[in-house]
Structure 1
Amino acid sequence: MNGDAASALGTVEPAQKTAMHESTKQMVRRLAAHCNTFRGSIPRMAISQILSTLIPLAVLVVAMFATVKTAYWATLLMAIPAGGLLVRAFIIQHDCGHGSFFGSRTWNDFVGRCMSVLTMAPYGLWKREHAVHHASSGNLDRRGAGDIDTLTVREYQALSNFGKFRYRFYRNPLFLFAFGVPAYFLIVQRLPWFHALKPAEAFKSVMGLNIGLALFYGPLIYAFGVTDVLSVVVPMVVVASAAGGWLFFIQHQFEDTIWEKADGWDFQVAALMGSSFYDLPKVLNWFTGNIGLHHIHHLNSMIPNYRLQACLNASPELKSINRLTIMQSLHCANLKLWDENRRRLIRFDEIQAA
């Protein structure tokens, strides 16, 4: 079923709707079986990905420190590819959290925690919250864990004027990606509050990373000073978090995504049909660890990122589901609300028609 068919579900007769749902389920089950053949780690590919991420990142960071006092414009330019490498490091951490990067839980947890010192995302916290995201993605009754906050048209219309202003402000792309996501990575994730985990679990994960950050960056601050370290690290993290935030947004916030009430929600259908295939140029796929193939990742999170492309290449059918180009994705930034009647995301100016 393509996006147009998904949008049409709200207008067809009940019998036809049931038939369409069953047809979709059969397709999803078939593709899930295909994806399952690509699960499992390949150690040499995992190690190669770590080395191809950390070595160029280290070279760039050294060059950034070398130019921070004499040519800061060059430092800022280098923050762009360095930020891209941090995104790649985060995808490694992300796969470790899923238990797919290596076959060993011990190695997954060790590498994931090491990467978290670079990404500034607490490993245990992200591992648990992201698992909840996968278990509830597309479920209207279980929103709020690891999601971009999304209201239905009815929920938005029931808000006070201030509530509507607050939601509009939050969903503004400039605020969300230039300020909100970077602030979340740099500040909120340093605090053991405001998270979905139990306070004790969140405290252990967040404060554990804070100690790790102090041990890692302390010697750098001693050698170069606080100002120079911040001048190098903050631009990298801002680039990485803004780019990563956009990727996370576009993975589920597109017009023909699907949301269902709990009684009609199906895990595999929501995973495949509610996630996008962000068809990026090869160089961007490399920096982002193929996470644009998100429909495959949600259908089977045990496929490591370095096997996603092979899974896609082996199934032409997967290439046609929820495909978005970069130009098409830019329009998704204007989508703000889920219309339960038309079964698609809409812009604010479409509310009256809803």
Structure 2
Amino acid sequence: MTISTKQLRKQVAPFEKANTKASIIQLINTLGPYFLLWILAYLSLSVSYVLTLAISVVAAGFLVRVFIIFHDCCHYSFFKNRTANKVLGTLTGVLTLFPYSQWQHDHSIHHATSSNLDKRGTGDIWVLTVDEYLAASTWKKIAYRIYRNPFVMFGLGPIYVFLIMNRFNKKGAKRKERLNTYLTNFLILLVGGLVCLVIGVKAFLLVQGPIFLISGTLGIWLFYVQHTFEDSYFEHNEEWNFVLAAVEGSSFYKLPKLLQWLTGNIGYHHVHHLSPRVPNYKLEEVHNHTEPLQQVPTITLWTSLKSLKFRLWDEQNKKFVGFNYINQYKRTSQP
């Protein structure tokens, strides 16, 4: 696909401004239902825990939507005012267990290096090429296979990343980033402690536990499938192109309308990577009004399940493959 960077930027530019009214409406229709569902889930404990779990599934969907607001704040795209984005980002970070400044830093690197084979490692999912895997030590291969196992990535992954990794500053973090992490941790303990005092630790865990696990799994799945699809885009630094990385290395995840709404249009990930300053509620509009963006790789809820088998990037054939491809690759690569 021939893509003119200048032309694309010109078409997308008008959408790169937040609409304060739309942002406030989204805050209301996201936080309001989330808190209401949380209370209903707690009240349902006296009726049936099956009912509690059913409500928790819906609440988890709204927590994903809260994360999208947090995500927009990290790009300074939810409000026009930077301070407003920082304040709201920090508060929504408490609900989603993400320290605002730390994640903003790592996610900015992800956007600047996405699909660049020479700049992997920050804010992204661990991806090895076939050649890298074959050259790796036995222990590295074992670690990689464990990491890429769906149970580990989507089950244990949220627990490790959200509950443990996000609680610590990274080496070399700047002062404001460290302070923001401390503040987030304090507020999480304060809010969680107050809720436990009111309803009890057991009730809190019975409600928040499934909401956390379900939303965490959904969040990691969305991030995974947005960049892990068969004909994705990866290049070494000298051939890497920002626009191609955005529109060919990020998928258009075409979801049913309800799921699209709950996930804050993040399925239009190609648009988001092309222009992170576009608010989530404008992503679909950009896609529909920009013809070149309608030609990008498209995956559906059903076809996205194929991505579970993708483990390695095949540089020769420019596609994701599974571990079972290794023997075939060895045979075809032999002189």
TM range (shorter): over 0.9
Counterpart residue number, 2:178: 203
Contact 2:130/2:314, CA 8 A, preserved across alignment:
yes
Counterpart residue number, 1:21: none
Q: Identify the match of residue 242 of structure 1 among 213, 217, 223.
A: 217
Query: How far apart are the structure 2 equivalents of 1:167 and 1:58?
Result: 38
Query: How far apart are the structure 1 equivalents of 2:176 and 2:84?
Result: 21
Q: Identify the match of residue 286 of structure 2 among 288, 311, 321.
A: 311
Query: How far apart are the structure 2 equivalents of 1:317 and 1:328?
Result: 22
* AA in 1 matched with 2:164: I
> Which digits, 9 at most, give the CA deviation of each residue in 1:183-226, with x for residues without a partner?
3112221233xx47627555323221110112222221111111
Q: Could you tell me how far 1:107 is from its partner in structure 2?
A: 0.8
Are 1:107 and 2:107 an aligned pair? no
Counterpart residue number, 1:50: 27
Contact 1:256/1:345, CA 8 A, preserved across alignment:
yes
Q: Identify the match of residue 282 of structure 1 among 242, 257, 277.
A: 257
> Which digits, 9 at most, give the CA deviation of each residue in 1:83-119, with x for residues without a partner?
1101000000000110011100011111111111111
Q: Identify the match of residue 323 of structure 1 among 290, 294, 298.
A: 298
Query: How far apart are the structure 2 equivalents of 1:201 and 1:45?
Result: 30
Counterpart residue number, 2:71: 94
Counterpart residue number, 1:122: 99
Q: Identify the match of residue 259 of structure 1 among 230, 234, 241.
A: 234
| Identical amino acids, percent of aligned pairs | 39
TM-score, length basis structure 2: 0.94
Aligned partner of residue 115 in structure 2, secondary structure: coil
Q: Which has the higher contact order (CA 8 A, sep 6+)?
A: 1
Structure 1 stretches of 4+ moved >4 Å = 199-202
Query: How far apart are the structure 2 equivalents of 1:349 and 1:244?
Result: 27
TM-score, length basis structure 1: 0.89
* Correspondence 1:286-305 to 2 at 5 A: 286-305=261-280
CA 1:200–1:108: 2 relative to 1, 3 Å: closer
Q: Could you tell me how far 1:299 is from its partner in structure 2?
A: 0.2
Counterpart residue number, 1:8: none
Query: How far apart are the structure 2 equivalents of 1:109 and 1:290?
Result: 22
Aligned partner of residue 313 in structure 2, secondary structure: strand
Q: Could you tell me how far 1:259 is from its partner in structure 2?
A: 0.8
Q: Identify the match of residue 318 of structure 2 among 335, 343, 349.
A: 343
Are 1:269 and 2:244 an aligned pair? yes
Query: How far apart are the structure 2 equivalents of 1:94 and 1:138?
Result: 20
Aligned partner of residue 140 in structure 1, secondary structure: coil
Contact 1:338/1:344, CA 8 A, preserved across alignment:
yes
Query: How far apart are the structure 2 equivalents of 1:228 and 1:189?
Result: 24
Report the number of matched residues. 329
Counterpart residue number, 2:333: none
CA 1:84–1:324: 2 relative to 1, 3 Å: same
* AA in 2 matched with 1:55: G
Counterpart residue number, 2:112: 135
Contact 2:3/2:292, CA 8 A, preserved across alignment:
no
Q: Could you tell me how far 1:71 is from its partner in structure 2?
A: 1.8
> Which digits, 9 at most, give the CA deviation of each residue in 1:274-301, with x for residues without a partner?
1000000000011000000000000000
* Correspondence 1:164-175 to 2 at 5 A: 164-175=141-152
* AA in 2 matched with 1:81: V
Structure 1: which 5+ residue stretches go unaligned? Answer: 2-23
Structure 2: which 5+ residue stretches go unaligned? Answer: 330-335
> Which digits, 9 at most, give the CA deviation of each residue in 1:27-66, with x for residues without a partner?
x543332222211000110000000001111111111111
Q: Could you tell me how far 1:270 is from its partner in structure 2?
A: 1.1
Aligned partner of residue 324 in structure 1, secondary structure: strand
Query: How far apart are the structure 1 equivalents of 2:117 and 2:269?
Result: 20
Counterpart residue number, 1:158: 135
